């Protein structure tokens, strides 16, 4: 590996053989060029043991990087048989990057991503207990990162008069308590989360609504992505600025660009701001028409 190459660290472990050999084995990934194209390389390095070294798992780090050895590290920190998983909470309005973050977590940890919505787990205590148990078992067997989208119903504060909801929250807490894996929950109601989850969640991120500058960057990125798919693309900075003023989230922008690109490609037209605005206006008209009906 050349000095100028960046190496993304995943995990490390101390190895000692019966013959007395000792070393640290480091795993990660780096950009690799085979002479024709770029791609990811996943080399493993062996670092000989020397006096004064520390175990990789003893160094300060974001816990996800070392999750493969996290169970052993926490043996002396938590009650045996409990809390050996890694649970994250992503909060914010729709279309601000919560799902994308889960995809990045899966990519960095080199695990498949299993996505389900809270509605798929059912609405009764028995159904949720059964379905969630099955999903967590599959996730554990496959070594997945599990994303439970829109988990608000299971995170909501418990109250005296809400017996059924209290049961759902309790079942959800119990199942997560004993799960040994990575689970990411998303919600858009972080202020309504039951306090019992505070001690179960290992990391959390809140995503505010997109600013005009955020929307401008998203429009730019989405249009760059489709530039190769259309015959001609024509936008000025003023055009992009006018689109960024519209109160849209990231998912809506992505869908709008994808739809318009498909249309202009089929018609061999130029993709311009006017074409996008016409399509956006037609969507608004359709919504207003549905409201009147």
Q: What would the pLDDT profile of 276-292 be if each residue is shown by its tens digit?
A: 888 787 765 443 444 44
Torsion of CA 62, 66, 68, 72, to 10 degrees: -100
Q: Which residues contact 31 (CB under 8 A, 6 or more apart)?
A: 5, 6, 38, 39, 40, 41
Q: Which residues contact 52 (CB under 8 A, 6 or more apart)?
A: none
Q: Which residues contact 13 (CB under 8 A, 6 or more apart)?
A: 24, 25, 56, 57, 68, 69
Coil vs helix vs strand at 47: strand
Q: In Å, what is the CA distance from 128 to each residue of 143, 158, 164, 181?
A: 22, 17, 12, 19
User: Tens-of-pLDDT digits for all 293 residues of the chain?
Assistant: 444 455 566 566 666 666 666 666 666 666 555 555 555 565 665 666 555 555 444 443 344 444 444 444 344 344 434 446 788 889 888 888 888 888 888 887 788 889 998 888 888 888 988 998 899 888 888 888 899 998 888 887 776 657 777 788 888 888 888 788 888 999 888 777 877 777 778 888 888 888 899 888 888 888 887 777 766 777 888 888 888 898 888 888 888 888 888 888 887 878 888 888 887 877 654 434 444 45
Q: Which helix (H) or strand (E) holds 7?
A: strand 7-16
- Ordered by where they begin, the domains of the chain are 7-59 (no CATH), 86-206 (3.40.50.300), 212-292 (1.10.8)
Instruction: Supply the DSSP string of 154-205, one letter for each residue.
Output: HHBPP-TT-HHHHHHHHHHHHHHHT--SEEEEEES-GGGB-GGGTTT-SEEE
Per residue in 62-83, pLDDT (tens digit) is: 444 444 444 443 443 444 344 4
């Amino acid at each position: 590996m050349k000095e100028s190459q960046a190496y993304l660290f995943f995990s490390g472990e101390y190895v000692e053989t019966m013959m007395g050999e000792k070393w640290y084995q480091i795993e990660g990934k780096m950009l690799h060029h085979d002479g024709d194209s770029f791609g990811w390389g996943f080399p493993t390095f062996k670092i000989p043991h020397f006096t004064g070294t520390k175990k990789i798992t003893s160094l300060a780090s974001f816990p996800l990087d070392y999750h493969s050895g996290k169970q052993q590290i926490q043996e002396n920190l938590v009650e045996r048989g409990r809390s050996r998983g890694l649970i994250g909470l992503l909060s914010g309005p729709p279309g601000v990057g919560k799902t994308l973050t889960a995809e990045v977590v899966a990519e960095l940890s080199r695990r498949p991503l299993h996505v389900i919505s809270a509605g798929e787990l059912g609405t009764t205590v028995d159904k949720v207990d059964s379905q969630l148990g099955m999903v967590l078992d599959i996730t554990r067997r496959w070594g997945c990162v599990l994303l439970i989208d829109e988990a608000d119903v299971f995170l909501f504060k418990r109250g005296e008069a809400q017996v059924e909801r209290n049961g759902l929250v309790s079942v959800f807490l119990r199942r997560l308590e004993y799960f040994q894996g990575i689970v990411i929950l998303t919600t858009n109601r972080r202020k309504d989360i039951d306090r019992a989850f505070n001690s179960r969640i290992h990391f959390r991120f809140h995503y505010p609504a997109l600013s005009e500058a955020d929307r401008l960057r998203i429009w730019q990125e989405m249009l760059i992505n489709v530039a190769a798919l259309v015959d001609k693309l024509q936008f000025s900075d003023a055009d992009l600025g006018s689109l960024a003023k519209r109160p849209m989230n990231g998912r809506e922008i992505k869908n709008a660009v994808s739809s318009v690109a498909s249309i202009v490609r089929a018609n061999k037209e130029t993709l311009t701001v006017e074409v996008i605005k016409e399509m956006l206006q037609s969507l608004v008209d359709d919504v207003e028409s549905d409201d009147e009906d």
